[in-house]
Amino acid sequence: MRYNVSAIIEGYAQGYFLMGDDDNNLGWYGSRDRTLIPLDERFRYPKSLRRIINQNKFSVAINRDFQSVVDGCADRDTTWISPDLKEIYQELHYSGWAHSFETWEGDELAGGILGIVIGGAFIGESMFYRIPDGSKVAMVKLVEKLREKRFIIFDAQMMNPHLERFGAYGVGNLEYQDLLTKAVAMTELNFV
């Protein structure tokens, strides 16, 4: 093992997250504001997406192809997922901390969300799609899963217009730290 998994999980449990910079140097980052995906009635999505979900076009899997989800999330013109961070995600996955929540159309990976699970917190690192609506359906189905498992945080880290459409909202660091402390203490929860 090249990385200290315990130290990395401790960093995430304190509200920090890892990112690579333009030179692929890895560093810890924090934020005064965090973006959360609601796990209550504030979560919403367009009616057009509801129709797609009702068609059962996609099936859902957890960790069926973790590496392909990491690769899909990193496959962008600019990405914070450096080669070192890809290795870290693999080690966190092998240790039971990092997971991929995937949508499939038949045998083809349609989209996925990469995240780290600590207690009752799902810390979303990234998402991608290969088939239109693949990541959107993954988002809806992941929220259903997190509700079912009684999670209290779905941390999306930073706001963007895509997340706003699902009801994502910002919280200040003090509120986030309070929620995160409660979530991390929920060690009895099992995501998979």
Counting runs of H as helices and runs of E as strands, what totals does the chain give?
Answer: 7, 9
Let me know if residue 48 belongs to a domain. Answer: yes
What's the pLDDT tens digit per position in 92-124? 999 999 999 999 999 999 999 999 999 999 999
d(CA 148, CA 134): 21
Closest of 123, 159, 152 to residue 34, by C-alpha? 159
CA distances from 37 to 6, 64, 134, 145, 166 (A): 26, 24, 18, 13, 7
Q: Any idea what the CATH number is for the domain that residue 93 is in?
A: 3.40.630.70
Strand stretches in the chain, DSSP E: 17-20, 26-29, 33-36, 59-62, 98-105, 108-118, 121-129, 153-157, 169-172
Let me know if residue 47 belongs to a domain. Answer: yes
Per the prediction, the chain carries an average pLDDT of: 95
CA angle 163/100/164 to nearest 5° reads: 5
pLDDT, position 3? 86
Let me know if residue 107 belongs to a domain. Answer: yes
Closest of 111, 128, 143 to residue 45, by C-alpha? 143
pLDDT, position 92? 97
- Report the run of H or E that residue 47 belongs to, with start and end: helix 47-54
d(CA 11, CA 83): 19
Let me know if residue 152 belongs to a domain. Answer: yes
d(CA 25, CA 82): 8
Let me know if residue 180 belongs to a domain. Answer: yes
More reliable by pLDDT, 2 or 66? 66
Number of domains in the chain: 1
CA angle 86/87/89 to nearest 5° reads: 65
Let me know if residue 191 belongs to a domain. Answer: no
Range of the domain at 24: 5-184
Let me know if residue 190 belongs to a domain. Answer: no
What's the pLDDT tens digit per position in 125-160? 999 999 999 999 999 999 999 999 999 999 999 899
pLDDT, position 64? 98
